[in-house]
Structure formats: C-alpha cells, structure tokens
Amino acid sequence: MLNLDNYVFARSLHILAIVFWIGGVAFVTTVLIPALKSTVDPKNRLALFEQLESKFSFQAKITTVLTGLSGFYMVMFVEGWDRYLTLQYWWMHLMTLVWLIFTIVLFVLEPLFLHQWFHARATENGEAAFNALHTMHIILLTLSIIAITGAVAGSHGYSFF
C-alpha cells in the first residue's frame, strides 16, 4: 500500500486540493467580501453572500478532506511523525493547524451554530458582521499563505533556522 507511486499521487492530490481550497479562500477574502461590502445593497448583501458562499462551502469541505487524507498518507509514507517534535519543520505544524481550524469551522462550528450566528448578526448590523467576517478571512488567509510558503521552501530543503 505504501509505495512511491501512491506517494506521488498523494502529493499531487494534496497540492491540487490546496490550490482549490486556499485559492477559494483567497478569492472570498480579496474579491467577494470586499465587493459585497462596497457595492451590494445592504439589504441584499447577506442573501447574495449566503448564495455564493454555499457553493464554495461544498468545495472547501471536499478539498479539506482530500488535503487531510493525502497529508496523513504522506507523513505515514516518509515516517515523518517525529517532524512534529522539532522546530525545523514548523511549517508542518502550521499546515496542520490551518487544516484543523478550517476542518473544525466547516464540519463542526458552522453547522452547529456559526451559520445561524452570522446570519443573525448580519441581519442586525450588516457592516459590523461583514467587517468581522472579512477580518477572520484575512487572518486565516495570512496563516495559509505563510504555511504554503514554508511548506514549499521546507519540502525542498530550505531551512529557516
């Protein structure tokens, strides 16, 4: 089961899933939310956001699962669990943290209460709700960009320390 062909496939799948997942997060953060905040009638902003975001939510769920499974396989293949014990592989810690945050938000917090909470807050005060949403997306996108940059450099042998 653990062979080089499977590893190469897992790594390719991992990168493709991250492109779709974090690329989507980048689009939502840098294009969609700012456009909604500045051009859409505040009365229709929430409905349009929920309509567009629901399409991306499905993609994000699939790609986070694929990212997690392929990442787990790659760590098993290289027997790299000890990398979590050293600072040299900080990017693996950050990648795992980013994945964990998104997974918890998408599969636990959003279905349980986050979607309803945001809807109620946006109905009450749309500006504040969309500003908070945008800030959270900026933070998560920034962490994702740092993780991706560190992973690319680190997996090619560059050491930041």
Domain ranges of the chain: 4-155
Query: At 98, which amino acid appears?
Result: V
Contacts of 17 by beta carbon, 8 Å cutoff, 6+ apart: 63, 64, 66, 67, 70
Could you tell me which of 150, 159, 151, 3 has the C-alpha nearest to residue 76?
A: 3
Q: What is the pLDDT of the chain when averaged over all its residues?
A: 93
The gap from C-alpha 91 to its chain's centroid, in whole angstroms, comes to 15
- Give the 3-state secondary structure of residue 150: helix
Per-residue model confidence as pLDDT tens digits over 148-158: 999 999 988 88
Reported pTM: 0.91
**In this structure, are residues 76 and 2 in contact, taking their beta carbons and an 8 Å threshold?**
yes
CA–CA distance, 160 with 154 (Å, rounded to integer): 8
Distance CA 148, CA 95 (A): 7
Residue 61 burial by Cβ neighbours in a 10 Å radius (0-12, 13-18, 19+): middle
pLDDT at 39 over 80: no
* 66-116 pLDDT per residue, tens: 999 999 999 999 999 999 999 999 999 999 999 999 999 999 999 999 999
Q: Are 73 and 5 in contact (CB under 8 A)?
A: no
